[in-house]
Amino acid sequence: MFNLTPTELERYRRQIMLPGFGEESQQRLKAARVLVTGVGGLGGTAALYLAVAGIGKLILVRGGELRLDDMNRQILMTHNWVGKPRVFQAMETLRAINPDVEIEAICEYVTSENVDRLVQSVDIALDCAHNFAERDRLNAACVRWKKPMVEAAMNNMEAYLTTIVPGQTPCLSCIFPEKPEWNRRGFGVIGAVSGTLACLTALEAIKLLTGIGQPLLSQLLTMDLNQLEFAKRRPYHDPNCPVCGRVSQESERSAPKQKNPRANALTFTK
Ligand SMILES: [Zn+2]
């Protein structure tokens, strides 16, 4: 199936040698298709770390053109690309870094028209969009299609991260039933802050896909990078959530209690 080529075995040798990782985890990454929405300081950097880790296919979704004030954090971009669609430059940079990864770039925002098609075509989604309208659409579609979603958000020097597995964990709507004010370009950001969150976001996806480590299931990591204070909270899983309530109740009734070490890893059908 997803056998590794000699080049891949060498390229990923240093992660394959991690205890508990091995060639099996690398094959799982190669088999995986991952959606990244909002390919900016957060999503672009997360996509970079997924590409170098050897994800089989990345689908990048982001509308709009690169602006000069994106350049303090969007590390896939080059200065000469200002004024052109970001997502195509992101694809070019990632291809140059790792030609073994298949990249699809879609210059669109997440809309009610495209979201189901996007989510259906992947194993896992990374929610790195700027606004709650796109985030809510992606969350609802991931619940509808029972696809895991890594939820990463930031505001100034604060960052938030959780991993949502529909039916098993609270969804975005459980965690934020009322939407905070979220101005697209209304908050300041240092590239190292979005990059810090992005690395953890990519790592969550890698954990979910391979089964290594412990992903942030039913836990919300909050980070205050001004004070370097990190905390984990347990968000409320609303049994009557309008988005995930029905799926959660179904899965409560039917879930077998698994104990094997790769129980959190996704399974692939091909
Ligand atoms: Zn919910």
Q: Which residues pair with 149 in a beta bridge?
A: 125, 164
Give the distance (Å) from ligand 1 centre to CA of residue 121: 22
Give the distance (Å) from ligand 1 centre to CA of residue 6: 44
Report the pLDDT averaged over residues 120-131. Answer: 95
pLDDT band at 260 (very low <50, low <70, confident <90, very high): low
Give the distance (Å) from ligand 1 centre to CA of residue 241: 5
Q: Where are the alpha helices (DSSP H) in the chain?
A: 6-11, 13-16, 22-31, 43-53, 86-97, 115-120, 132-144, 172-175, 191-210, 245-254
pLDDT at 270: 33
Give the distance (Å) from ligand 1 centre to CA of residue 264: 20
Give the distance (Å) from ligand 1 centre to CA of residue 175: 7
Report the pLDDT averaged over residues 150-172. Answer: 96
- Tell me how far apart the alpha carbons of residues 180 and 176 are, in angstroms, rounded to a whole number: 8
Give the distance (Å) from ligand 1 centre to CA of residue 227: 31
Give the distance (Å) from ligand 1 centre to CA of residue 153: 17
Give the distance (Å) from ligand 1 centre to CA of residue 136: 11
Give the distance (Å) from ligand 1 centre to CA of residue 250: 13
pLDDT at 268: 43
Q: Comparing C-alpha atoms, which of 51, 185, 21 is closest to residue 126?
A: 51
* CB count in 10 Å sphere of residue 146: 14
**Contact predicate 24/172, CB 8 Å:** no
Give the distance (Å) from ligand 1 centre to CA of residue 122: 21
The tens digit of pLDDT for each residue in 51-99 reads 999 999 999 999 999 999 999 999 999 999 999 999 999 999 999 999 9
pLDDT at 41: 96
pLDDT band at 178 (very low <50, low <70, confident <90, very high): confident
Give the distance (Å) from ligand 1 centre to CA of residue 266: 21
Q: Which CATH class is domain 6-254?
A: alpha beta
Give the distance (Å) from ligand 1 centre to CA of residue 174: 4
pLDDT band at 253 (very low <50, low <70, confident <90, very high): confident
Give the distance (Å) from ligand 1 centre to CA of residue 161: 16
Q: Given a cut of 50, is residue 181 above it in pLDDT? A: yes
| Average pLDDT in the chain | 92
